[in-house]
A and B are shown apart, each in its own frame.
Chain A
């Protein structure tokens, strides 16, 4: 009952904002500055029907779909190795800390020069951004892990990769999931920034072109697609997290209330 009321009120709140926007547009504020919900809706269906938007959606989604998993995997691998091998941590640690301090979107122009204005430069940027978050979280997880758990596993007969895959990775999975979850929006920011600067296709390019023409309706349409992209990615990572961490007390509570 409570949930139903919340849902209804939430819907009403959204509707009020949309109606106010529609009414303000052209009355209080000039329509070309803020567009209006009806125009945006009309343009949205137009670009979907004409198919004009899809190459942009596909370009952005592909850059994330290829770059993000790679960044996550590289990050986990290096975080694991540095957590397990102290010498490696001592050698690489200061360099990685230094690189981490640089805002990663600063690499966007550089990557465009190196890898061209196509999708490769966007993928490279996503890999770099998601790598760092996942690397640091995995590394922190291993440093905070209770070493006794490895000794127990050895005593119970586990060796080599079994200890890595069945003991260490599950033990630090809460850290790994934090890295994945917090790097999703950043990865999308990375792609869009790259597309803003120079691209052949992508939602970032679409938005930049619309802004360039002072076409606010088109700008909002591009932002709506970006919103849904991030929302879908967040939902996927949340599902993954609930699956991976289903053994943790808090997640059980979430699963039961949902």
Chain B
């Protein structure tokens, strides 16, 4: 996956706001790359542009060598949002089956795949529950199962664990690491939490506050599998944190300036 010279301007009333400066980013196959930045830096916008939900003002996005234009091209992309992406009128298993039905999978294969996905995320017992009956963590698991069900090469995750309590978040980070290692997906993960970014990623990218540009890109060399619960004491964590935190900290202090044009 590659992002070339992408910028984004929004119009708010009569003002133009530059949300993203000039972004060039390459995510190699199988890589777990995190984008970390302060709120309002445009990190979610990057993910929404790749998914085709918003268009880039300039620049190009390529996924597996194909230029992406709009949502229709995105069969190779799975998407896990901050909240509320599951269909509440469907059960957990029907939610996971939805993309397969859309692709015309026959019933038997659909059932097999749904069972496999629910087992992968540990939700086999909740297959027939409606979404409102699931806890916050279970909803995230269901969303991951849905996004992976049609076997996309790339998984986009937009602050997926932001709304969870810290224990549930760590458990899901551990699960995600496992799922990633088992499936070999390319993951682009957006977060405002530097610890999360370091704990999960091969590469961590720090974005500046608006207009977002890439401020630093760091290979995180911590050994895998990583012990998420004790990530702080894992060799290499402190170095990575000390490299990135001052950069992020500067952005938090910087006056909130989505630059007005």
Q: Which of A153, A155, A249 has the most CB of B within 10 A?
A: A155
A45 to chain B, nearest CB (A): 47
A183 to chain B, nearest CB (A): 22
**CB of A84 within 8 Å of the partner chain:** no
B142 to chain A, nearest CB (A): 13
**CB of A254 within 8 Å of the partner chain:** no
Binds A, one of B21-29, B85-93, B112-120: B85-93
Partner of B53 from the list A151, A158, A247 (CB cut-off 8 Å) is A151
The interface bits of chain A over 92-110 (1 if a CB of B lies within 8 angstroms of the residue's CB, else 0) are 0000000000000000000
* Cα separation A171 to B87 with both chains bound (whole Å): 8
The interface bits of chain A over 232-258 (1 if a CB of B lies within 8 angstroms of the residue's CB, else 0) are 000000000000000111001000000
Q: Which residue of A lies closest to B99 (CB)?
A: A156
Q: Interface residue count for A (Cβ, 8 Å)?
A: 22
**CB of A189 within 8 Å of the partner chain:** no
* Cα separation A149 to B131 with both chains bound (whole Å): 15
- Given the contacts A154-B72, A158-B98, A247 and B85 also touching, CB distance less than 8 Å: no
Q: Are A155 and B52 in contact (CB under 8 A)?
A: yes
A244 to chain B, nearest CB (A): 9
Interface members, chain A 132-156 (any B CB < 8 Å): 146, 148-149, 151-156
**CB of A167 within 8 Å of the partner chain:** yes
B81 to chain A, nearest CB (A): 8
Q: Which residue of B lies closest to A159 (CB)?
A: B102
Residues of A within 8 A of B132 (CB): 247-249
Q: Are B89 and A170 in contact (CB under 8 A)?
A: yes
**CB of B240 within 8 Å of the partner chain:** no
Residues of A within 8 A of B71 (CB): 151, 154-155
**CB of A39 within 8 Å of the partner chain:** no
Residues of B within 8 A of A162 (CB): 102
**CB of B49 within 8 Å of the partner chain:** no
Residues of B within 8 A of A248 (CB): 88, 132
Q: Are B89 and A157 in contact (CB under 8 A)?
A: no
**CB of A24 within 8 Å of the partner chain:** no
B173 to chain A, nearest CB (A): 23
Partner of A155 from the list B74, B88, B89, B133 (CB cut-off 8 Å) is B74
Q: Are A146 and B74 in contact (CB under 8 A)?
A: no
Residues of B within 8 A of A148 (CB): 53, 81, 84-85
Task: Using C-beta atoms within 8 Å of the partner chain, give the interface range for chain B.
Answer: 20 to 34
Q: Are A152 and B85 in contact (CB under 8 A)?
A: yes
Q: Are B87 and A157 in contact (CB under 8 A)?
A: no
Residues of B within 8 A of A153 (CB): 98, 102
A151 to chain B, nearest CB (A): 5
A171 to chain B, nearest CB (A): 7
Partner of A157 from the list B75, B81, B88 (CB cut-off 8 Å) is B75
Q: Are B130 and A247 in contact (CB under 8 A)?
A: yes
A120 to chain B, nearest CB (A): 38
**CB of A193 within 8 Å of the partner chain:** no
B78 to chain A, nearest CB (A): 9
Q: Are B102 and A156 in contact (CB under 8 A)?
A: yes
Q: Which of B77, B99, B102, B133 has the most CB of A within 10 A?
A: B102
The interface bits of chain B over 127-155 (1 if a CB of A lies within 8 angstroms of the residue's CB, else 0) are 00011110000000000001000100000
**CB of B79 within 8 Å of the partner chain:** yes
Q: Are A157 and B99 in contact (CB under 8 A)?
A: yes
* Cα separation A44 to B77 with both chains bound (whole Å): 68
The interface bits of chain A over 148-189 (1 if a CB of B lies within 8 angstroms of the residue's CB, else 0) are 110111111111001000110011010000000000000000
Q: Are B79 and A155 in contact (CB under 8 A)?
A: yes
The 10 closest A-B pairs by CB, nearest first: A157-B102, A156-B99, A170-B89, A154-B71, A247-B89, A158-B102, A247-B130, A249-B132, A152-B85, A157-B103
Q: Can you offer 15 A-B residue contacts whose CB atoms are under 8 A? A: A148-B81, A148-B85, A153-B102, A154-B71, A155-B74, A155-B77, A155-B79, A156-B150, A157-B102, A247-B90, A247-B130, A247-B131, A248-B88, A248-B132, A252-B133
- Which residues of A pack against B, CB within 8 Å? 146, 148-149, 151-159, 162, 166-167, 170-171, 173, 247-249, 252
| 11 extra interface residue pairs, beta carbon distance < 8 Å, beyond A154-B72, A157-B99, A159-B102 | A148-B53, A148-B81, A152-B81, A155-B52, A155-B53, A157-B75, A157-B103, A157-B150, A166-B98, A167-B87, A249-B132
